[in-house]
């Protein structure tokens, strides 16, 4: 069972954990740090002198949870888990779910092993709520029951989703709206085309956060849920995401697509409590702007 504590004033991590667990031997506390049992704001921290700030949340995880996390691939992190759902950070270059050529190396498959704690006979499993492209990193939700999946998907369009993208060139204004008529020609093929009975309106709000000589960091909030709409909209604006060869990007300085799902807010499927998660832009992308 995870025990969580909220920091009230700046203090070093080891001192704080000692104070919260005075009944635990100090060598045991040091082992918690060494073996990754201590998380700060959802991220594992092993440095004893990590500086905590007021409002930080420190969690101490049980041995079973730490061992199950070792089943996850590098870069895939569980930020939140309860009886209804799991929220993860997915790394780039990992499929959300299986396709025709890859069945096992997917976020879904790894997370199924995680909730089964490595026991293939366990009945535990996860359900897919939404997807991220293989090349996109960031926040994803998986349900832990069929009922939770249905509630989450029924309310998905009302969830607040935000992405960060490093794009070539520069958008014409500091903020604005990008829109198009989206035509899906197949499971993955999507085009922006003139409106017709077969097209659906796609709308994305954007805000430029930072500019450099060759690219810009842009915050994007989709107002509709069309497949690949962010990539299509930025390409239509002549500012394709770096590394997006499909949409004619000329550069790939990070050796990956420059798109990251950075913020997600939605009601809990059981309690209705509003949950809010954030994921910082990966360093390999932040260095580009």
Predicted local distance difference test score (pLDDT) of residue 197: 61
Predicted local distance difference test score (pLDDT) of residue 64: 66
> Which CATH architecture fits 160-262?
2-Layer Sandwich (3.30)
Query: What pTM value is reported for the model?
Result: 0.77
In tens, the pLDDT along 226-278 reads 888 999 999 999 999 999 999 999 999 999 999 999 999 999 999 999 999 99
Predicted local distance difference test score (pLDDT) of residue 33: 86
Closest CA to 134 of 86, 168, 184, 97: 97
Predicted local distance difference test score (pLDDT) of residue 201: 83
Predicted local distance difference test score (pLDDT) of residue 134: 94
Residues (pLDDT < 70) of the chain are 1-2, 63-67, 182-199
Domain spanning 1-62: CATH superfamily: RNA-binding S4 domain (3.10.290.10)
Predicted local distance difference test score (pLDDT) of residue 210: 95
Rounded to whole angstroms, what are the CA distances from 208 to 174, 205, 283? 5, 10, 18
Rounded to whole angstroms, what are the CA distances from 129 to 68, 86, 114, 145, 215? 22, 10, 17, 11, 33
Q: Domain locations in the chain?
A: 1-62, 160-262
């Amino acid at each position: 069972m995870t025990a969580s504590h909220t920091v009230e004033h700046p203090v070093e991590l080891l001192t704080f954990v000692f104070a919260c667990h005075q009944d635990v031997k100090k060598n045991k506390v040091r082992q918690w740090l060494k073996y990754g049992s201590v998380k700060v704001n959802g991220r594992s921290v092993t440095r004893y002198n990590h500086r905590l700030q007021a409002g930080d949340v420190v969690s101490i995880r049980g041995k079973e949870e730490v061992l199950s996390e070792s089943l996850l691939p590098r870069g895939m992190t569980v930020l939140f888990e309860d009886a209804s759902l799991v929220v993860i950070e997915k790394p780039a270059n990992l499929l959300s779910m299986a396709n025709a050529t890859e069945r096992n190396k997917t976020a879904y498959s790894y997370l199924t092993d995680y909730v089964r704690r490595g026991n293939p006979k366990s009945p535990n499993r996860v359900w897919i709520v939404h997807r991220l492209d293989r090349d996109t990193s960031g926040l994803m939700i998986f349900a832990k029951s069929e009922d939770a999946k249905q509630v989450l998907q029924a309310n998905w369009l009302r969830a607040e989703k935000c992405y960060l993208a490093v794009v070539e060139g520069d958008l014409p204004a500091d903020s604005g709206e990008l829109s198009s008529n989206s035509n899906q020609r197949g499971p993955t093929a999507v085009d922006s085309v003139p409106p017709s009975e077969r097209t659906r309106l796609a709308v994305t709000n954007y805000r430029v956060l930072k500019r450099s000589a060759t690219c810009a960091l842009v915050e994007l909030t989709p107002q509709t849920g069309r497949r690949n709409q962010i990539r299509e909209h930025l390409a239509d604006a002549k500012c394709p995401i770096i590394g997006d060869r499909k949409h004619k990007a000329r550069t790939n300085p990070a050796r990956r697509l420059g798109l990251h799902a950075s913020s997600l807010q939605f009601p809990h499927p059981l309690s209705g409590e509003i949950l809010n998660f954030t994921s910082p832009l990966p360093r390999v992308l932040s260095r580009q702007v």
